[in-house]
Amino acid sequence: MPFVPLRLVLLGVVVIEHHISFTPPAKATNDDQVHGSTAEWLWMLMLKILNLIMWMIFTIEATVVLAPHVINPSSTLSHVLHELCLSPSSENFSDISPLFLVGVSLSTLGTSLRIACFRSLGPLFTFTHTTRASHQLVSTGSYAIVRHPGYTAAVILRIGLLFCLFTRGGWLLGCLMPAFSDGGGGSGLLGRVVQRMLVVWSVVEAFAMILRARREDDSLHRRFGTKWEEYARRVPYRFIPCVI
């Protein structure tokens, strides 16, 4: 199985990228004005939970793939680990599909852009809608192309993550979904629920980012006035140049 280590390494890289990209690089202090809400608090909580879920999926997949090569098949531990993949499909766990590689590429692209945004904003990049006492209007780097590149990066990364998780050769499609099959040869109820929950969360998150970007623009407009208006004229698009 020559591709097993490579696939696991790539999946591990994607999970690390997700963790870095969705962990706040800076936090609000007592001197900052936080424009928080219950919805924003729930969003922060969901980000933490999603990071934990990603690590759990990677750990289980690594265990399912590697355990048979290092554990005696007749041992008690082997039988316990077998419970992680009750009904394995015919998927080859060493398989690296083109869609998986597209997902890895998108994840790396999104993370690189996200980190660039972290560096451009420095302590101004918080995951809560915050106005600092020493707030500045940053218009350099990726912020000279669109006004909210961090959100664009997050969506790119999330699409890449979904491609990586829901392609052949992984634990979700190879073990979890067949284990809860409805008998028709397809994935069962729980498998479909897991898949659709992640997709729905990603869509809801994208819409939430659009709404939050508008709120942030309004806050910056109130604080910087004509300076922000000049910036908005130079950089008219929020997320994608010449599109939106």
Q: Which pLDDT score is estimated for 178? A: 62
Q: What are phi and psi of 131, to 5 degrees?
A: -120, 120
C-alpha neighbours within 13 Å on the C-beta side of residue 220: 21
Per-residue b/e over 93-120, b at no fewer than 16 CB within 10 Å?
A: bebbeeebeebbebbbebbebbbbbbeb
pTM as predicted: 0.81
Q: Which pLDDT score is estimated for 119? A: 92
End-to-end Cα distance, the chain: 45
The three-state secondary structure class of 18 is: helix
Look at the alpha carbons of 209, 212, 218, 219 in this order and tell me if their dihedral is positive or negative. Answer: negative
Asked if 21 and 116 touch (Cβ cutoff 8 Å), the reply is: no
pLDDT above 90 covers a percentage of the chain that reads 34
pLDDT band, residue 145 (cuts 50/70/90): very high
Q: Which pLDDT score is estimated for 30? A: 56
Q: Which pLDDT score is estimated for 115? A: 95
- The per-residue pLDDT of the chain, averaged, comes to 80
Structure tokens at 222: 């109130």
Q: Report which of 32, 35, 217 is spatially closest to residue 133, judged by C-alpha positions.
A: 32
Q: Which pLDDT score is estimated for 2? A: 40
Asked if 65 and 3 touch (Cβ cutoff 8 Å), the reply is: no
Integer Cα distance of 122 and 65 in angstroms: 40
Per-residue pLDDT of 146-179, as tens digits, reads: 999 999 999 999 999 989 988 877 877 777 666 5
Per-residue pLDDT of 83-132, as tens digits, reads: 667 545 445 566 788 999 999 999 999 999 999 999 998 877 776 766 66
